[in-house]
Amino acid sequence: MATITDTDLRILSPAFRNGEDIPSKYTCDGENVNPSFEIKGFPRQTGSLAIIMEDPDTGHGVFDHWLVWNIRPDEAIQENDVPGVYGRNSFGNNGYGGPCPPKGKHRYFFHVYALDDELNLPPGSSKKDMLDAMQGHILARADLMGLYQKK
């Protein structure tokens, strides 16, 4: 059984730094495509990566913008890319749904998980299914947080 270890796992984006504003290109005000990411420092026994992008500032629970798993650790995540298998986000779609807060500035967390194996989940699975499948397989986790306020 895998457990979270103390590693140097990091998720970085050339589009924005941790705690900075997400450019509108990656939101509902722009092209609504995912930014590119660089994931570094994952444990050598990593079999796949998973990403959850969520907004906790809705006032009525967490809103899921992007669920993706079975990302190959040696594969770069490019802008407007399909890096793995998509789950169903809170918009009801499989894929990326960019920031689009109804009012105010919200925080958007990109959580990356290094897993010891791929997940055996069909496309369109829920966040709960994804989290359940990851139990016992998470080697490390890192976070990147960006901000956005709708124009």
pLDDT per residue, tens digit, the chain (151 aa), is 444 555 699 999 999 999 999 999 999 999 999 999 999 999 999 999 999 999 999 989 999 999 999 999 988 899 999 889 999 999 999 999 999 999 999 999 999 999 999 999 999 999 999 999 999 999 999 999 999 999 8
Residue in the structure block whose two tokens are 């499989």: 94
| Domains of the chain, CATH where assigned | 10-149 (3.90.280.10)
Distance, in Å, from the CA atom of 105 to the CA atom of 73, rounded to the nearest integer, reads 32
H helix or E strand, kind and range, residue 23: none
Q: How many CB atoms lie within 10 A of CB 59?
A: 9
DSSP states of 25-76 as a string? GGSTTTT--PPPBEEE---TT--EEEEEEEE--SSSS-EEEEEEEEE-TTS-
